Structure 1
Amino acid sequence: MRIAIDKAQHVEEAGTQGTLAIELAGERVLLLPEKALYWPREKMLIIADIHFGKAASFRALGVPVPGGTTAANLHALDALLARHAVREILFLGDFLHAKAAHAEATMTAIHGWRLARPSLKLTVVRGNHDAHAGDPPARLSIDMVDEPLRQAPFAFCHHPDLLVPGYLMAGHVHPVYRLRAGWDSLLLPCFLVGEGRVVLPAFGAFTGGHPVLPEPGERLFVTSGDTVVEVPVKPHVRPE
């Protein structure tokens, strides 16, 4: 499945500043500076690795980390819902971080958010963390499915290395890219876009990132939080 991304261009529509429009498998999609992807034809917002309850999981293990990450994630979702016509949010795995994510405070916050949006369809493609955490409570009205979830021309997965029919969208890696300028460097979340797949950055407020280099045939788009731009980099060549 080949893609066309030579026509990548920033969108000039109201409320889409910094957004980059590209074509994947014949479909126009938007790479959002908020570390998400939007499929206009289906009015679908695609999110990877939100990891609800990760901070609570750390605190349950006695690690002192700040609170408020669940609220930050929900606020970030609301900001995107305000800017785009969204019928469905599709989470590409790792919706919950661990069993401790079922803490009452975390579930109550998500449930309250869900009650205010009863017509919004929520779907989660289970990831490796979801397998350990268990499905969220039924009261959240979330459709839980195993990978791949196929909706032509795409195959929605958590893991990016699966062999599936269709153009693959995945997360799991939490990709970031290190920009260098002299002695200075900066790690930024990035989208890896190739002929057969796109890997999304982690959306969650408390997720971290894994530095990556593009494979042959891949292009790399970084986000500063305000805009998405392509970074011309030499592809990573694996040794024979």
Structure 2
Amino acid sequence: MNSAQGAAAASVSFDWQGQQLQLLGAKAAWDPQRRTLLVADLHLGKAETFQAHGIPLPSDGDGATLNGLLELAHQLEPQRVVVLGDLIHSRLGLTGELRAKLAALPELLGCPLRLIGGNHEQGSWIEGLPQEPSQALGPWWLSHIPEPRTGMLNLCGHLHPVAVVGRGADRLRLPCFSYCEASERLAMPAFGRLTGGHPCSQRDRIWLVADGAVVD
């Protein structure tokens, strides 16, 4: 099994009107037809933002998040990587070191990096990475906050969906993909290692992400 097949093995297929997405156990989505890797809510610089407010938070989350993204790109060899908003957590966390890492990221990914602007990017400027508006990619409508679009599937971030599994001491909060059929919206789990989540609607169809695998 090659690396791309390995990434596909840790995934489930999401079919929408004859179009296919692979929901990956790495908390990302893969469009095989357009060779596009989609992630949301990395929240890079979150630890530095909290530290600036006197709240201790480990600073190693960015490295784990970026390494996970690079590993996926090396496995799948995408033509582009699209971040569905909240690449960074705030201007306070956008340090010189983080700016240098973001500047080097397209070369390390081996493809262009594009950013749909999110609420946490507001007021920030990242050299070489302009914030783009919500837009179409084939049958998908890419946005940060949910933006239902007639005749298209809305792929979005922002919601950080998690599902609560089990009871009592065995209760777990697991990241998930969350599909709302009524609004044709598929919310992505947060990709960032230091990013929390919010319980999704019980009406949504969900795919749990646990130990690098996806469970319907």
TM-score (norm 1): 0.81
Equivalence map 1:166-181=2 (5 Å)? 166-180=152-166
Q: Secondary structure at the match of 1:70?
A: helix
Stretches of 4+ aligned residues off by more than 4 angstroms: none
CA distance in 2, matches of 1:171, 1:225: 21
Query: 179-188 vs 196-205, which deviates more?
Result: 179-188
Counterparts of 1:150-165 in structure 2 under 5 Å?
150-160=136-146, 162-165=147-150
1:151-207 deviation per Cα after TM superposition (whole angstroms, max 9, x unaligned): 2311101112x2423210111011110111575211100011233110011000111
The correspondence of residues 202-213 of structure 1 with structure 2, limited to 5 A, is: 202-213=190-201
Q: Which residue identity does 2:26 align to in structure 1?
A: E
Residue-by-residue CA offset, 1:42-87 (whole Å, 9 max, x unaligned): 1101001111111111111121111122211110101111221311
Contact 1:55 1:65 (C-alpha < 8 Å) held by counterparts:
yes
Whether contact under 8 Å (1:175, 1:211) holds in the other structure is yes
Change (3 A) 1:194 1:65: same
Distance 2:199 2:116 in 1: 24
**Identity of paired residues, percent?**
28
* 2:15 equivalent in structure 1: 23
Match of 2:133 in 1: 146
Q: Does residue 137 of the first structure (1) align with residue 127 of the second (2)?
A: yes
Gapped runs of 5+ residues in structure 2? none
What is the match of residue 35 of structure 2?
43
Q: Paired residue for 1:78?
A: 70
What CA distance in whole angstroms lies between the structure 1 residues aligned with 2:179 and 2:7? 24
Aligned to 2:74, the other structure's residue is in SS state: helix
CA distance in 2, matches of 1:158, 1:71: 23
How far off is 1:114 after superposition? 3.5
**Structure-2 change in CA distance of 1:205 and 1:183 (3 Å):** closer
Residues 207-232 of structure 1 show CA distances to partners (whole Å, capped at 9, x for unaligned) of 111122333xx3111010321011xx
Show the 5 A alignment for 1:79-228.
79-117=71-109, 119-132=110-123, 134-138=124-128, 142-147=129-134, 149-160=135-146, 162-165=147-150, 166-180=152-166, 183-195=169-181, 196-215=184-203, 218-228=204-214
Following TM superposition, by how much is the alpha carbon of 1:135 offset from its aligned partner in structure 2, in angstroms?
A: 2.8
Amino acid at match of 2:126: P
CA distance in 1, matches of 2:75, 2:167: 33
5+ long unaligned stretches in structure 1: 1-11, 231-240
Kindly state the Cα deviation for residue 127 of structure 1 after the two structures are TM-superposed.
1.0
C-alpha displacement of 1:143: 4.5
What is the rounded CA distance, in whole Å, between the counterparts of 2:7 and 2:26 in structure 1?
13
CA distance in 2, matches of 1:116, 1:79: 10
Q: For the pair shown, which has the larger CA radius of gyration, 1 or 2?
A: 1
Query: Counterpart of 1:6?
Result: none
Amino acid aligned to 1:213: S
Alignment CA distance shift 1:55-1:25 (3 Å): farther
Are 1:70 and 1:109, in contact at CA under 8 Å, matched by a contact in 2? no
Provide Cα deviations, 1:128-150, integer angstroms capped at 9, x if missing partner. 11114x13123xxx342112x11
